[in-house]
Structure 1
Amino acid sequence: MKVAAAPGYNPGRVNERKILQGTGYTLMYLGLILVALVQIFPLVWLLIFSLKNNQEIFNMAPFSIPAHPHWENYVNVWTNGNIAQYFVNSVLITAIALALTVLLASFVTYAVTRMRWKGRSFVLGLFMVGLMIPVHSTLIPLFSLFLKLHLTDSPISIILSYVAFNLPTTIMILLGFYYALPKEVEEAAIIDGCSVNTMFFRIILPMTSSVLATTAIINMIYNWNEFIFVNTFISSDKYKTLTVGVQNFIGQYTTDWGAIGATLMISILPILIVFLLLSDRIVEGIAAGSVKG
């Protein structure tokens, strides 16, 4: 038995829509692939750059692979260029500053969004003012302050600077997510006898893990790549980070460009690995924190 077609049903038009839809998806994916290739372009160039010596860098085409790649550039910068020490310093300073920033920003955001107290809007406004302060305008006052406190040439000065300048941005990202948290969860926790501290650490923080991943990667990228504060406050080699340590390969009369490329490649890898591991959580956190409900 044949089933009658619905009124107005046109098989030709349906097939035409499917073809147009498929063409649209194909063009979109081709565009995304093109954008991805453009994004990968600098990394491929830097990898090839790091496998050449000075003569090959200036005499060969930018994307020409040397006949004998100089993998020893990586060994030399890690062992003889003190890059291992700079790498450890970058990891420690970035991790400590990141943990303090995320934790303190969570405290502040929870206090101004979930608690009722006088002056909370004023306090939030003070933090947001920090977004308008240029980093370079604070170098001389901060250097003078750290000099009086005997904190120059100390990782503490770098950590404090990172935390202070990253707090406003981190709080701004967390605000939308905290406003959207259901109050019923807190009310149920209070009925069960939870204190404020227990409720924050055991309920609120786990619920905000996605947006915390977003703030973590943003803070990590800033801390890892930061140059001005380290170059201003740190003078000893034992406290320098990767971004400043790369200057060791720039001499008065000669520069080891292959070693610089290897150092930059080493400095990029941790960021890429962390971003790939947290990419799903980052997108989830951005989407969740963008809507106030």
Structure 2
Amino acid sequence: MMSGTAGRLEGGAGAGAGAAVTRKFGYSLLYIVLIAVAALQLFPLVWLLFFSLKNNQEVFNLPALSLPMNPHWENYAKVWNVGNINLYFFNSVWITVVATVLTVIFGSLVTYAVTRMKWKGSSFVLGLFMVAMMIPVHSTLIPLFSIFNKVGLTDHPLSLILSYVAFNMPITIMILLGFYYALPREVEEAAVIDGCSVNRMFFRIVFPMTSSVLATTAIINMIYNWNEFIFVNTFISSDAYKTLTVGVQNFIGQYTTDWGAIGATLMISILPILITFLFLSNRIVEGIAAGSVKG
């Protein structure tokens, strides 16, 4: 009897030890895979950094991942001071911020009206915004250019802001929908009983409650606006309103191309988005998870 019990205990201990070893091996394998994927994701950034510190001869004569023989940090000074990248950087910042703020505010207003207020046509309006997600951007370039040309907005930053807000509204509303549906109505009912108006209730109560999902939509909008190229290249012709995405063309000449300067420009354009994503990546996941649950 005692020997049988001892045997079962030893067998259970052996199985537990085997499971622990298997678990450790699984975690180790998972970490190796994740490290390999992270290295693969970082490869373009490392290559671009080395690329930006080379001159034309080193770009074509040295291996892609080789360190430059003499790092040309002056490439960054050249693009910032001579290539007007400082102006393009400032334009990218303020246009991105303005378009993002307007999109988040208007998207929140539309989502609140559709999900929290009862009125005829709310489903139809929501359907229009969702259908707009299926419209290809390139198919709207000529109509938009014609409209902006007639109203005098070509070569004006307002054409970019209006385009960014219009094309980002559907995805912004889609992210906000689930979160707004899940908001407890008791909070709004208590505010109405206390005499709170609809406008005040939205800006003082509902809007702050959605801060996590608003951070997600703001970051997604910011990344799109910062990296956008086709609208800037189509609507803007003067250097005064160009952004970083088209500013790189300044270093492409008819006969020669300054590849090191192009790499430095691309590196400068990537850093703000990269830093923002590193600090706010948790908010993106949190907001998407919060907006994906209804009820």
Shorter-chain-normalised TM-score: which range? over 0.9
Aligned with 1:265 (options 258, 264, 267): 267
Counterpart-to-counterpart distance in 2, 1:8 and 1:117 = 70
TM-score for the superposition, normalised by structure 1: 0.96
1:215 to partner: Cα distance = 0.8
Match of 2:284 in 1: 282
Counterpart-to-counterpart distance in 1, 2:291 and 2:8 = 44
Aligned with 2:251 (options 249, 252, 273): 249
Q: Over residues 204-245 of structure 1, what are the superposed CA-to-partner deviations in whole Å (9 max), with x where a residue is unaligned?
A: 111111111111111111101111100000000000000011
1:67 to partner: Cα distance = 2.1
Matched, 1:189 2:191: yes
Counterpart-to-counterpart distance in 2, 1:53 and 1:112 = 56
1:292 to partner: Cα distance = 1.1
Going from structure 1 to structure 2, the CA distance change for 1:254 and 1:180 (only over 3 Å counts) comes to same
Report matched runs for 1:1-293 at 5 Å. 10-293=12-295
In structure 1, give the amino acid aligned to 2:32.
Answer: L
Identity %: 75
In structure 2, give the amino acid aligned to 1:146.
Answer: F
Counterpart-to-counterpart distance in 2, 1:66 and 1:205 = 51
CA RMSD of aligned residues (A): 1.6
TM-score for the superposition, normalised by structure 2: 0.95
Any unmatched runs of 5+ in structure 1?
A: none
Q: Over residues 83-120 of structure 1, what are the superposed CA-to-partner deviations in whole Å (9 max), with x where a residue is unaligned?
A: 00000000011000000001000000000001111110
Instruction: Describe the SS at the equivalent of 1:61.
Output: coil
Compare 266-275 and 27-36 and name the one that shifted more. Answer: 27-36
- Give the paired residue count: 290
Compare 175-184 and 150-159 and name the one that shifted more. Answer: 175-184
Q: Over residues 22-43 of structure 1, what are the superposed CA-to-partner deviations in whole Å (9 max), with x where a residue is unaligned?
A: 2111111111111111000000
Instruction: Describe the SS at the equivalent of 1:66.
Output: coil
Counterpart-to-counterpart distance in 2, 1:252 and 1:32 = 44
In structure 2, give the amino acid aligned to 1:84.
Answer: N
Counterpart-to-counterpart distance in 2, 1:10 and 1:24 = 21
